[in-house]
Amino acid sequence: MPDQRTSFLQWLRRILRRVLDGWRNTRYAPRGIDEFEFGGPSVHEDIHRKYGYDGDLLKIYSQHSGHLVHKWHHYIPIYDRYFTPFRGRAPRLLEIGVSKGGSLAIWRKFLGPDATIYGIDIDEDCLQFDGIDGQVRIGSQDDPAFLRSVIKEMGGVDIIIDDGSHRMDDVKASLETLFPLLNNDGIYLIEDLHTAYWTGFGGGLRTASNFFTYIRGLVDDMHHWYHEEDMQHPEIAGSCAAIHIYDSIVVLEKSKQHPPVHSTVS
């Protein structure tokens, strides 16, 4: 019975959380995403014209059919910039948030048949996508033991995409667990961070809970050589080589860090 009770409570927690998040989204998002929906005839032309991008991922996304995938148009060239170096190298990718399964299909087409692709979600309905374009595991992105078990099963990870709940506490929890497990020269990409400004997701403009406030702490940590404060997030900043901020996206690059030195040559 304890196992059944635990399983039921986990299921109930997932259902209640999704209902609550939906209510919060409707009530507290000062600007919903519906007003930004593309209404033109050609997704391909819109992305190409606005961003000057004509890479493989544009065709893969704009001509996709099958399981539904939803992406903001300006994300496509950003993905290309950071994921292209992994093509042909059999990378290991983990995506937080499976949703309708289409995103896993996009990564399979872009990264190729030799890539190891896993997706995680709290919704057990996502198991229908297991074994199609990647492996699907059910669990919460704020559960460190679950996340570690998935990375262990994958045999390591080179690319992590957080397209999960988009809640501030979950985004931070996943980052703090997964970034130390990311391989050197790996990429950690967090998307849909417009939620950092929505109270229904635990954010808010100029609030301490806003994820970009957290990022400012990481920036200070990266420069700990030059000030006397202790690092706030040493498990991340100690191996974070760069932080890139775009509209609704944060990308963290991981590599071994060395104390800075300078020299004079002539």
Q: What is the pLDDT of residue 39?
A: 84
Other CB atoms within 10 A of residue 205 CB: 11
Query: Helix (H, G, I), strand (E, B), or coil: what is residue 188?
Result: strand
| In the chain, where the domains are located | 2-254
Question: What is the per-residue pLDDT across 172-196, written as a single tens digit (0 to 9) for each?
Answer: 999 999 999 999 999 999 999 999 9
Tokens of 31: 């600007």
In this structure, of 33-47, 61-75, 152-166, the range with the lowest mean pLDDT score is: 33-47
Judge whether residue 10 has pLDDT over 70: no
Judge whether residue 65 has pLDDT over 90: yes
Q: What is the pLDDT of residue 41?
A: 86
**pLDDT class for 57, splitting at 50, 70, 90?**
very high
Residue 59: C-alpha distances to residues 48, 65, 101, 108 (Å): 10, 12, 18, 14
Question: What is the per-residue pLDDT across 16-43, written as a single tens digit (0 to 9) for each?
Answer: 665 554 444 444 445 567 888 998 889 9
**pLDDT class for 163, splitting at 50, 70, 90?**
very high
- The span from the CA of 203 to the CA of 192, in Å, is 12
The residue assigned the tokens 């020299």 is: 263
User: How many residues in total does the chain contain?
Assistant: 266
Question: What is the per-residue pLDDT across 203-238, written as a single tens digit (0 to 9) for each?
Answer: 999 999 999 999 999 999 999 999 999 999 999 989
Which class does domain 2-254 fall in?
Answer: alpha beta
pTM tops 0.85 = yes
Q: What is the pLDDT of residue 18?
A: 56
Tokens of 144: 């460190």
Judge whether residue 71 has pLDDT over 80: yes
